[in-house]
A = this chain, B = another copy of it.
Amino acid sequence: MNTQSIIERIHSVIGVRESFTPLHIPIFDEREVDLLRECVESNMVSSVGAFCDRFEASLVEFTGAKRAVLCMNGTSALHLALRVCGVEPGDEVMIPSLSFVATANAVRYAGAIPHFIDAEAVRFGMDPLALEKRLDAVGELRDGALYNRETGRRIACVVPMHAFGHPVLISELLAVTNRFGLQLVEDAAESLGSFYEGQHTGNFGVCGILSFNGNKVITTGGGGALLFNDDALADRAKYLSTTAKRPHKWEFFHDELGYNYRMPALNAAMGCAQMEKLPKMLAQKRALAERYRQAFAGLEGLRFVTEPEGCQSNYWLNALLLDEDSVDQRNAILEATNAANIMTRPVWAPLDELPMYADCPKGSLDVTKSLAQRLINIPSTAGL
């Protein structure tokens, strides 16, 4: 393997282009403009409006969740999810170290402390064995709740994340959380269109969250949603997202600390148009991944990342995984590909290495540290 051989293989898939090829950009056509126009003409562009209901209904239909609740973005959705699950200030929430910073930030917004768990090597998501090992090591059942005996704090919740859209070992994770009486929230920010044994990600725990940021499979400019299979929890999330205002024809009375987290109808209108093209975009993204898989087949020193067994991935971001002994070539590959107008980037810095999370509790993170040196994302836009 050398950097030129990687560039050639990417070129063989996406073509040789004059202009810079970004990692992931949205696909729009006249339909987005039409629905934005319809929204503007309805005069209901803010947090109440038919397009909010319509986008929520289309998410319900696509994911099979009972309820969807729109939000400003995936970060605010995760913050709400933790509040709805009863995470309290001073609690610990177990999350992967290999994730975007929003996963940890949302824990902090809830006043809780991230507790980092290692990734497994195939799917890059939270490793059920690492979770179980860590809970066995530090967990202590007291008064019907699980406590971290080293910190004295309650362990409130576990939040796996489906990295790049590849589903985690969710059944195995649920077996562990059930054994310890913990709630599970799925950070499905990257996995709209990803299924685990036929069931959409985000539907396995107490709730799941989605993101429609500009770089995601579909976008609403900025946006997110919570998925629920329980009406009361969904109602509570919606209530908290609309400043916890008690229903009244004119009174402004708020019962508890709420948020201004509701997605505007304007953004929801774009979401409705995007949902119509989601199946086609997913098919295009799978076809692109298959072409990458073939192009990289047989190249020594790395493997192209494919969907895990029993799963259907949305292939949100395609990735190359360098072999352990090719790790020192990563920066050269990043430099050369970007210089060749092909956007590539490494995975996130492990969250436990960020200054504000450096003192948080954590299990062994050996797999995370290895993956963080070896993963490279390559252009993944549908239709490339």
Chain A residues proximal to chain B, CB less than 8 Å: 25-26, 28, 32-33, 36-37, 40-41, 43-48, 72-76, 100-102, 105, 108-109, 213-215, 219-222, 243, 245, 249-260, 262-267, 270, 334, 338, 344-349, 354-356
Contact = CB atoms under 8 A, between A and B. Distances in A.
B26 A45 contact: yes
Contacts of A243: 101-102, 105
Nearest to A25: B43
Contact of A346 (B101, B251, B256): B251
Given A36-B36, A252-B345, 4 more contacts: A46-B214, A75-B260, A101-B254, A252-B348
B45 A254 contact: no
A215 B220 CA distance: 21
Contacts of A260: 72-76, 102, 105, 213, 222
A-B pairs, top 3 by smallest CB distance, nearest first, are A46-B214, A221-B264, A221-B266
Nearest to A258: B105
B221 A45 contact: yes
A346 B249 CA distance: 11
A108 B256 CA distance: 11
Number of copies: 2
Nearest to A331: B250
Nearest to A245: B101
B76 A250 contact: no
Contacts of A245: 101
Contacts of A253: 349, 354
Nearest to A109: B109
A265 B41 CA distance: 20
A330 to B, nearest CB: 11
B46 A36 contact: no
Contact of A46 (B222, B252, B263): B222
Contacts of A102: 243, 260
Nearest to A260: B75
Contacts of A251: 345-346, 349
